[in-house]
């Protein structure tokens, strides 16, 4: 009996020792610790939870233009410097336009001449023009008759003159022969026949000269007739055109000449416009690589223009969060350069292809700013984004700073104040963001929770605040 009672006493003692040891080792779950200090308190409440995704990135411009002249030339005017704000259509720089202006003036004259020729062809003939054409044809006809008569007269006169010249030559030949016979008969020297010999030779020569004069007069009359005939044919053609109108082929040819002159004029105007470099959009000058007197070639970029209204946040989102994002979701943006200013944006593009770096997979997401801002946002600035992916109303919420994770067990817990003394409470957490976390079990509305500092006991490991 005594042994039995003694055994019971020993068992009770051992149970008491074990209970005391458990109370000491597992105290944070069962009792307040004398080494706990309350740093911060908060209240469990009901409210709407905004579920967010955080991302970082840089400011980029969707619209940036590298501006170049479309023709070569020498710079004579520069109207902007880096940092200037310009509007669409503003002239930024100009080339020497002397040669372009001269070419434009010549093209204008060529077009005016072509249009005048076409207008003349299309203009209907009036009675005065018709009468003048008839008179020209009559004049040419009369000239032909006169030329024909002149030719006949010239031929008759030439025939008569040649006959007379031949008769005179024959008479001179007979006289010359008779004179020689007389000298021979009287034994006189032939030198006495020098005078009559000259007469004879002159008479023979006059035959050829008369022939040439006659031929020339006849040819001249024929030429006059041919000229009169050409005038007659032209006058007849002119009269016919006046009576029937211009030839359609000539009109069409003149129309094509006008069209060609118009195209040439348009090209010369384009050349002159190409000598001016104008802003294609509103924006800010970010670079300028030209000076007065520089020679540039066509297509060589000389000025960079950035559309500040097209600035976007190019974000990098972890693969864990990418499935939560959709085009159209609102984004709150803050810049490292302006940490106290919140900018509003919206997602307009989600990348499809992944990026992998050091084993981490991420995706590119683009968000554009919704409203203009007075701050000077620059391309390349570092930006931090908070994307609201879900709004859930009527949830029991605990401040996220009060939620902790036991690194040894993985349990999620917090400290609840009861009668001013913090006690550890195991939690079941649902949705969360950086500010609030959903409580699914472990607390009630109105509970006060605390962030505490605590001494580490044997077999107790309290991890840092979970990254929720």
pLDDT at 388 over 80: yes
Structural tokens at position 192: 């006495």
In angstroms, the Cα distances linking 14 to 4, 21, 356, 459 are 15, 10, 59, 21
* Helix, coil or strand: residue 465: strand
Would you say 357 and 397 are in contact if contact means Cβ atoms under 8 Å apart?
A: no
Residue 249 in this model has a pLDDT that exceeds 50: yes
The pLDDT tens digits for 179-227 are 777 777 777 776 766 777 777 677 777 777 877 877 787 788 778 888 8
DSSP 349: E
Per residue in 83-117, pLDDT (tens digit) is 888 999 999 999 999 999 999 999 999 999 999 98
Four-CA torsion 416, 417, 423, 428, nearest 10 degrees: -10
Q: What is the rounded distance in angstroms from the CA atom of residue 94 to the CA atom of residue 162?
A: 84
d(C-alpha 328, C-alpha 367), whole Å: 9
Q: What Rg do the C-alpha atoms of the chain give, in angstroms? A: 59
Q: What is the CATH number of domain 28-60+319-468?
A: 2.40.30.170
Axis-axis angle for helices 194-244, 127-185 (nearest 10): 170
> What is the 8-class DSSP label of residue 193?
G
- 82 vs 303: CA distance, rounded Å: 9
Exposed/middle/buried for residue 383 (C-beta within 10 Å: 0-12, 13-18, 19+): buried
Q: Within the chain, what is the greatest distance between any pair of CA atoms?
A: 224
**Is pLDDT at 19 greater than 70 in this prediction?**
no
Euclidean distance between CA atoms 299 and 289, whole angstroms: 14
Mean pLDDT of 62-77: 90
Could you give the count of Cα atoms lying within 13 Å of 279 in the half-sphere of its Cβ?
24
Please name the residue that has the structure tokens 């051992």: 14
Q: Tell me, what's the pLDDT at 104?
A: 93
> Which residues are paired to 47 by β-bridges?
395
145 contact partners, CB below 8 Å, separation of at least 6: none
Mean pLDDT of 52-61: 90
Contacts of 215 (CB under 8 A, 6+ apart): 158
Q: What is the Cα–Cα distance from 292 to 280, expressed in whole angstroms?
A: 22
Contact present, 371 and 423 (Cβ < 8 Å): no
Contact status, residue 244 vs residue 142, Cβ threshold 8 Å: no
Whether 49 contacts 436, CB under 8 Å: yes
Q: How many helices (H) and strands (E) does the chain have?
A: 7, 22
Q: How many CA atoms lie within 13 A of 337 on its CB side?
A: 12
pLDDT, tens digit, 9 for 90 and up, residues 321-356: 899 899 999 999 999 999 999 899 999 999 999 998
Cross-strand bridge partners of residue 40: 451
- Residue 373: the pLDDT is 67
Query: What average pLDDT is seen over the chain?
Result: 81
466 pLDDT above the threshold of 60: no
Instruction: State how far the Cα of 397 lies from the Cα of 444, in Å rounded to an integer.
Output: 9
What CATH number belongs to 64-94+276-305?
2.40.50.100
Instruction: Return the minimum-mean-pLDDT range out of 22-26, 332-336, 456-460.
Output: 456-460
């Amino acid at each position: 009996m005594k042994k039995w009672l003694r055994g019971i006493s020993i068992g009770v003692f051992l149970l008491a020792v074990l209970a005391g040891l458990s109370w000491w080792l597992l105290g944070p779950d069962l009792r307040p610790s004398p080494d706990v200090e309350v740093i911060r308190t908060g209240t469990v409440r009901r409210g709407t939870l905004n579920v967010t995704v955080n991302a970082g990135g840089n400011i980029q411009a969707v619209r940036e233009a590298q501006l170049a002249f479309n023709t070569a030339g020498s710079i004579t005017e520069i109207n902007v410097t880096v940092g200037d704000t310009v509007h669409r259509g503003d002239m930024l720089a100009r080339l020497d336009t002397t040669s372009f202006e001269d070419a434009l003036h010549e093209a204008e004259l060529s077009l005016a001449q072509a249009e005048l020729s076409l207008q003349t062809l299309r203009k209907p003939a009036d009675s005065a023009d018709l009468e003048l054409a008839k008179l020209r044809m009559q004049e040419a006809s009369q000239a032909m008759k006169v030329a024909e008569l002149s030719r006949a007269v010239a031929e008759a006169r030439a025939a008569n003159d040649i006959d007379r010249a031949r008769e005179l030559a024959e008479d001179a030949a007979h006289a010359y022969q008779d004179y020689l016979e007389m000298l021979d008969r009287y034994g006189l020297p032939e030198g006495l026949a020098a005078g009559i010999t000259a007469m004879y030779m002159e008479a023979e020569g006059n035959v050829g000269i008369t022939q040439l004069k006659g031929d020339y007069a006849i040819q001249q009359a024929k030429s006059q007739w041919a000229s009169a005939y050409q005038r007659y044919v032209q006058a007849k053609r002119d009269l016919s055109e006046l009576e029937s109108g211009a030839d359609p082929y000539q009109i069409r040819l003149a129309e094509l000449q006008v069209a060609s002159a118009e195209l040439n004029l348009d090209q010369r105007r384009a050349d002159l416009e190409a000598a001016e470099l104008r802003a294609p959009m509103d924006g800010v000058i970010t670079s300028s690589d030209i000076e007065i007197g520089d020679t540039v070639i066509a297509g060589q970029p000389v000025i960079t223009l950035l559309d500040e209204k097209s600035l976007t946040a190019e974000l990098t989102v972890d693969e864990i969060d990418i499935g939560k994002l959709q085009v159209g979701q609102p984004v709150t943006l803050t810049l490292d350069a302006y940490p106290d200013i919140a900018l509003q944006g919206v997602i307009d593009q989600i990348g499809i292809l992944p990026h992998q770096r050091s084993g981490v997979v991420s995706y590119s997401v683009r968000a554009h700013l919704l409203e203009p801002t007075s701050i000077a946002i620059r391309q390349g600035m570092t930006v931090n984004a908070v994307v609201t992916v879900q709004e859930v109303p009527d949830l029991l919420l605990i401040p996220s700073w009060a939620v902790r994770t036991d690194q040894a067990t993985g349990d999620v817990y917090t400290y609840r104040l009861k009668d001013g003394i913090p006690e550890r409470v195991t939690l079941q957490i649902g949705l969360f963001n950086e500010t609030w976390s959903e409580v699914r079990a472990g607390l009630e509305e109105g509970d006060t929770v605390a962030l505490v500092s605590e001494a580490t006991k044997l077999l107790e490991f309290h991890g840092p605040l979970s990254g929720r």
